[in-house]
Amino acid sequence: MKFNVDVQCTPEEARTFLGLPDMKPIHDLYIQTVLDTMSGQTNLEQMERMFRSLSPLGDAGMKLFSSFMDLGMNAAGGPAKKDG
């Protein structure tokens, strides 16, 4: 026997029903911090510390992400020029 149930609810209602945490305050704080940084109200060191604390692998994850970004930037800019 097979049956389907369609439930119409908002994401907030679904999170509450499933017992998932409300991440809206954290999301709002994150967005506000990014916006403050973009407008120059927060320095980049504070943003880096925040991203490191939110990174799943901590410092190792940030270094890995940084190396991926460096590889991508080098690939986008063409081969690196050698001195000499």
Q: Residue 64 carries which side chain, given as an amino acid letter?
A: L
Q: Which of 42, 20, 21 is nearest to 31 (CA)?
A: 42
Q: Which of 52, 46, 21 is nearest to 34 (CA)?
A: 46
Domain count for the chain, please give it.
Answer: 1
Please give the Cα distance from 19 to 41 (Å, whole number): 36
4-52 pLDDT, tens per residue? 989 899 988 988 888 988 888 888 888 888 787 767 666 667 777 777 7
Whether residue 4 is contained in a domain is answered as no
Whether residue 21 is contained in a domain is answered as yes
Q: Which pLDDT score, from 0 to 100, does residue 63 have? A: 78
Whether residue 6 is contained in a domain is answered as no
Q: Which secondary structure element, helix H or strand E, spans residue 19, and what is its range?
A: none
Answer yes or no: are the C-beta atoms of 38 and 45 closer than 8 Å. Answer: no
Whether residue 18 is contained in a domain is answered as yes
pTM here is: 0.38
49-74 pLDDT, tens per residue? 777 776 666 677 777 777 877 887 77
**Domain extent at residue 20:** 11-75
Whether residue 82 is contained in a domain is answered as no
Whether residue 84 is contained in a domain is answered as no
